[in-house]
Amino acid sequence: MADYKGNTCPVCKQKFKEADDIVVCPDCGAPYHRDCYEKLGRCIHSAAHAAGYEWKFPYQESELCTCPACGERTLRSEEHCRCCGAVLPPEGAEEPADRSEDPGEGSFDYSSFYRQFQETGTPSADPMKQAYEAAFGKEEAMDGIPCADWASYIGPASPAYMNTYCRMQLAHSKVSMSFSALLFGPFYFFYRKAWKPAFGFLAAELLLAVPTLLQLMQITGSTMAPALSDSTMVLLARICSALSFLLMVVRGMYGKWLYRKSAAEKIKRIRAEFPDAAQRKAVLAAQGGVSIAAVFGCFLLLMVVGSAATLLLGPNVDALINLVYG
């Protein structure tokens, strides 16, 4: 754990001592006395978490150096890094480049922004606007599309989605866990009108269910059942079950990125067809957002496919009932 000795608890305003029981906020890393944090019941910087605020050691830049082991900023006057404990190079040695100083990374000083928020009670600017600029530059364009058009297309959930995309952009990552995509599968993409991944995942799920259907056909004595051994059918079913689980994990990890790609394709087409801003906003809102009807349509399609699959079963339905109920 980082050494917070000498820093001040933001609740009781007392400096931390070596023997103090210190906890840190899991979202921003701000340190507290354990009793103070439990008494307050939340982080004092909670209003800033959505915009990506991170607590930093309150020292002047001239007092800090970059740790060559972990890359964090730590006190120049100490022999060991406060964050990872590594031995620091002697004074005058060349420091490793600080990635946060690279303008290409789109860094943004959330500390100074929210310091004013705490002092005055009102932020000096829109935090989401600042976050967009940090991630996508002053033009605030993601995938070549202004964030205003993204907001019109995504709908009421746009702040949450755009905040996630800002984090993904700054981290140069395509991964962001979506429990909706993980748990609801193709229904999530139909709901968000992402048609290509929706039908793609639906087709994959149906394909992976084929070995189970073939097993049921064999059990019920269907004349159309393939002439495969029981061990082969069990092996195929297990392989497809493993692939289905893997598909579910991939869907959860890359669901938001796939939605972003699908949405970007549609928004670019709409921007090309409707140059007028007011008209374009209305079209984006109409073609974007969510669709309950698409979810019901997917459900009905699965019902039809399931009903059609039952026609392939054999006459020995009792064997299937005995298999289920013993």
Residue 117: pLDDT above 80? no
| Final residue in a domain of this structure, among 151, 171, 191 | 171
Which of 23-32, 111-120, 303-312 comes out lowest in average pLDDT?
A: 111-120
Task: Report the C-alpha gap between 70 and 126 in whole angstroms.
Answer: 32
Highest mean pLDDT among 95-99, 215-219, 266-270: 266-270
Per the CB < 8 A criterion, the answer to whether 135 and 170 are in contact is yes
Residues 317 and 273 in one domain: yes
Q: Please check the confidence at residue 123 and state whether its pLDDT lies above 60.
A: no
Identify which has the larger pLDDT, 145 or 316: 145
Using DSSP's 3-state secondary structure scheme, residue 187 falls into: helix
Q: Would you state the structure tokens that stand for residue 304, as one six-digit string?
A: 């039809």
Per-residue pLDDT tens for 226-279? 888 888 988 999 999 999 999 999 999 999 999 999 999 999 999 999 988 888
Same domain? For 219 and 266 the reply is: yes
> Does residue 67 lie within any of the structural domains?
no
Tell me how crowded residue 273 is: count the other CB atoms within 10 A of its CB: 10
Instruction: List residues bridging with 66 in a β-sheet.
Output: 73
Identify the domain containing residue 301 by its residue range. Answer: 179-325
DSSP state of 11: T
**Residue 11 half-sphere exposure, CB side, CA atoms within 13 Å?**
19
Residue 86 lies in a domain: no
236 domain-assigned: yes
Q: Does residue 215 lie within any of the structural domains?
A: yes
On average, the pLDDT of the chain sits at 81
Task: Please check whether residues 306 and 236 belong to one and the same domain.
Answer: yes
| CA proximity to 296, closest of 288, 286, 304 | 304
CA distance 107 to 145: 20
223, pLDDT greater than 70: yes
Q: Are residues 277 and 311 in the same domain?
A: yes
Question: Taking Cα atoms as reference points, which of 323, 173, 141 lies closest to residue 257?
Answer: 173
Give the number of domains in the chain.
2
Q: Is position 48 within any domain?
A: no
* Residue 183 shares a structural domain with residue 164: no
> How high is the pLDDT of residue 7?
77
pLDDT at 169: 87
CB atoms within 10 A of CB 84: 14
| Residue 150, amino acid | W
